Amino acid sequence: MSSLRLLRSGARAIGGADALSGVHSAARRSIIDMSYSAHFMDFKGSSIPSTMRKLVVTTLSPNFREAVRAQTAAVPTPGDADLLVRNRFVGINASDINYSSGRYDPSVKPPFDAGFEGIGEVVGLGLSASSRHTVGDTVAYFGTGGAFAEYTVVPAKESVPVPAARPEFLTLPVSGATAYIALKRLGELAKGQTVLVTAAAGGTGQFAVQFAKRAGCHVIGTCSSDEKAGFLKSIGCDRPINYAAEDLAKTLRKEYPKGVDVVYESVGGGVMEVAVNSLANKGRLIVIGFISGYQSQSGIPPFRGDTLPVKLLQKSASMRGFFLPHFLSDYGEALSSMMQMFAEGKLVCEVDRGDLAPEGRFVGLESVFRAVDYMYAGKNVGKVVVEVAPPSASSSKL
């Protein structure tokens, strides 16, 4: 099943709880509850609340605050092959506003649940899911929809066991995996080549920088502040370019007259035009995203592409699109490899929890709104992560 279908089905499954919107009861489920006789819903004598908070897209809009509402709903019940995860942290992605504007699947109408990825503790599960998981496991997941909630139902086969609910592990399911697989499958990186990463200090950019460096490449990274440039240096970027202080096109022309071999491109519009013009002979530009257009109605930034075929032909260069859900067969290997690198101290998984944001750290589900604003203000260094709930009292691991 593709992740897009998973996104849709997940959104529907949890969306069914909308009937209980507005219920503010703090009632707790009884531990002996026959409606859950086929499920394992209780952990070490603890109980799961009847209701929870979640973020729901109620109006299609790229303005996240306009599109999304916080609601109270029933805590969903896992199906036979599902886990019920109590979210500890959720990840913010640039595409959260593409999702809230209905660009992922125009046939899905609001209301539907927001949020792509989370990490937390399994607090309930279906009978089949219990063959691989148990209550108290810590898992990360992405792509099921509905991560922006206190509890999320996740198909067991799409969850990844992680040693602890650390926010660093949440950098890997989307941001890390995108860089790992895109560069591996489409980059054709070779030692000594030059790689340009745009939005290099962000969630996925930080990984592209590190993987290109590991492949023996010379890495250039764009960012918008000296603080980000310092971070890029610290993770091995050879030439951070703070485009707020120096002209990107001029710098590339002057310092890289032969051009760059690979571009990991996330910004689109004028930045993509500069990147195309900077390609070396046989260069590859990987289209990862075009964030500079996401806040507009169309979602697409202006791009002057009429001479693109000429430019590509003259350099035997290519542009290649990459969308993570199309590469799920590479996913398991990518995650285990990155987890191992992290465990060995060979991969920096930088997390930005909003400590320097105007209202401070992103704590509580409703700080997702602030976290999205913060990313779109270009403030983040590393992956933006929101702490939804404190560690569970029943779990000593967390």
Ligand X SMILES: NC(=O)c1ccc[n+]([C@@H]2O[C@H](COP(=O)([O-])OP(=O)(O)OC[C@H]3O[C@@H](n4cnc5c(N)ncnc54)[C@H](OP(=O)(O)O)[C@@H]3O)[C@@H](O)[C@H]2O)c1
Q: Give me the long-range contacts of 303-310 (CB less than 8 A, separation at least 24).
A: 303/268, 303/269, 303/272, 303/273, 304/273, 308/276
> What is the x/- site pattern for ligand X, positions 221-260, by CB under 6 A?
--xx---x--------------------------------
Residue 62 lies near ligand X (rule: CB under 6 A):
no
The least CB distance from residue 221 to ligand X, in Å, is 9
Closest CB 68 distance from ligand X, rounded Å: 17
97 binds ligand X (CB under 6 A): no
Give the residue, chosen from 55, 201, 260, 276, that forms a contact with ligand X under the rule CB under 6 A. Answer: 201
With contacts defined by CB under 6 A, name the span among 125-133, 149-157, 198-206, 252-260 that binds ligand X. 198-206
Pairing of the two strands 151-155 and 82-91 = antiparallel
Q: How far is the CB of 392 from ligand X (least distance, A)?
A: 27
Residue 200 CB coordination number (10 Å): 28
Based on the shown chain and the rule CB under 6 A, indicate whether residue 376 belongs to the binding site for ligand X: yes
Cβ at position 178, least distance to ligand X in Å: 4
194-197 and 117-126 beta bridge pairing: unpaired
The yes or no reply on residue 323 touching ligand X (CB under 6 A) is yes
Nearer to ligand X, 166 or 383 (CB): 383
Binding mask 129-168 for ligand X (x = CB under 6 A): ----------------------------------------
133 to 50, 90, 126, 163: CA distances (angstroms): 23, 21, 10, 13
- Note whether 20 and 71 are within 8 A (CB): no
**Strand, coil or helix: 243:** coil
Decide whether 67 or 129 has the Cβ nearer to ligand X. 67
- Residue 100, classed as helix, strand or coil, is helix
Q: Which of residues 324, 351, 371, 389 is near ligand X by CB under 6 A?
A: 324
Q: What's the CA gap between 361 and 377, in Å, rounded?
A: 16
What is the smallest separation between the CB atom of 302 and ligand X, expressed in angstroms?
A: 12
Rounded CA gap, 349 and 324, in Å? 19
> Token pair of 165, please?
């609910």
202 counts as binding ligand X under rule CB under 6 A: yes
Minimum CB–partner distance for residue 367 and ligand X (Å): 16
Phi, psi of 54 (to 5 degrees): -150, 160
The helix (run of H) or strand (run of E) holding residue 87 is: strand 82-91
What Rg do the C-alpha atoms of the chain give, in angstroms?
A: 22
Q: Does 204 bind ligand X (CB under 6 A)?
A: yes
Least spacing, CB of residue 125 vs ligand X, in Å: 28
Residue 267 binds ligand X, judged by CB under 6 A: yes
CA distance 369 to 293: 19
Burial (Cβ within 10 Å: 0-12, 13-18, ≥19) of residue 371: buried
Query: Where along the sequence are the contacts to ligand X (CB under 6 A)?
Result: 93-95, 174-175, 178, 199, 201-205, 223-224, 228, 266-267, 288-289, 291-292, 322-324, 375-376, 378, 380, 384
